[in-house]
Chain A
Amino acid sequence: AQTVTQSQPEMSVQEAETVTLSCTYDTSESDYYLFWYKQPPSRQMILVIRQEAYKQQNATENRFSVNFQKAAKSFSLKISDSQLGDAAMYFCAMEAAGNKLTFGGGTRVLVKP
């Protein structure tokens, strides 16, 4: 069984500053993917970034980057130069088999102007 844990229910960041969201996971599988999804107030789930467990290099997508620590089973998301449009719920998720995603409980990000 897979588990994903997000320990921060809410994070606040000043516009243009950086915020880091934490995620830990557990799986016995050797090959898996990790994802961060964004859910704005519209409810739409949007893929932010993904990381394959076999790749050591941390994934980046514009202002979004991850810190993947495989041995520690940690997968944090860094949002740089935060913008008002980044305000949303962020979900960490893992896929270890068969396109089945296991999600964490989410972290709400507030961006202060």
Chain B
Amino acid sequence: NAGVTQTPKFQVLKTGQSMTLQCAQDMNHEYMSWYRQDPGMGLRLIHYSVGAGITDQGEVPNGYNVSRSTTEDFPLRLLSAAPSQTSVYFCASSPGRILGNEQFFGPGTRLTVL
């Protein structure tokens, strides 16, 4: 198993550009989520999905879109990048909705918006 994979590892954008951060998992996990990590603030939940076709907002959803057409993939879209979106982005997955399930994290994408 590759686990949770994310591409790209690094990305530099200009303000106003759009891009998609890719996330895939091969563990047949129902639950997937996106977090952003900023210095001194830990990780904050952006969007999450409890299964294919179902998504919902987390703590900091503004400026980001998601969709979940398959169990395996959960891309995060930035429609018009802003410098405030400079951060490290982590995708995570877990087996299901049971409280306390371990979440498996991808290696992260470092995004810089100029």
A residues with a Cβ closer than 8 A to B are 4, 6, 9, 31-33, 42-45, 47, 50, 52, 91, 93, 95, 97-106
Within 8 A of A (CB), among B37-66: 40-45, 48, 50, 58-59
Q: How far is the CA of A33 from the CA of B101 in the complex (A)?
A: 9
CB <8 Å contact, A47 and B40: no
CB <8 Å contact, A4 and B100: no
CB <8 Å contact, A31 and B108: no
CB <8 Å contact, A98 and B100: no
CB-CB under 8 A from B35, the residues of chain A are 101, 103
CB <8 Å contact, A31 and B58: no
Contact residue among A33, A42, A99, A103 (Cβ-Cβ distance under 8 Å from B44): A103
Contact residue among A44, A99, A105 (Cβ-Cβ distance under 8 Å from B105): A44
Give me the 10 closest cross-chain CB pairs, A-B, nearest first: A103-B42, A45-B105, A33-B100, A103-B43, A43-B108, A99-B31, A105-B42, A105-B40, A47-B102, A104-B42
CB <8 Å contact, B43 and A91: yes
**Chain A binding surface SS class:** loop
Contacts A43-B88, A44-B107, A45-B90 given; does A99 touch B42 at CB 8 Å: no
CB-CB under 8 A from A52, the residues of chain B are 100
CB <8 Å contact, A99 and B107: no
Q: 19 A-B contacts, Cβ less than 8 Å apart?
A: A6-B42, A33-B100, A44-B105, A44-B107, A45-B43, A93-B42, A93-B43, A99-B31, A99-B33, A99-B50, A99-B101, A100-B33, A100-B45, A101-B45, A101-B103, A102-B45, A103-B43, A103-B44, A106-B40
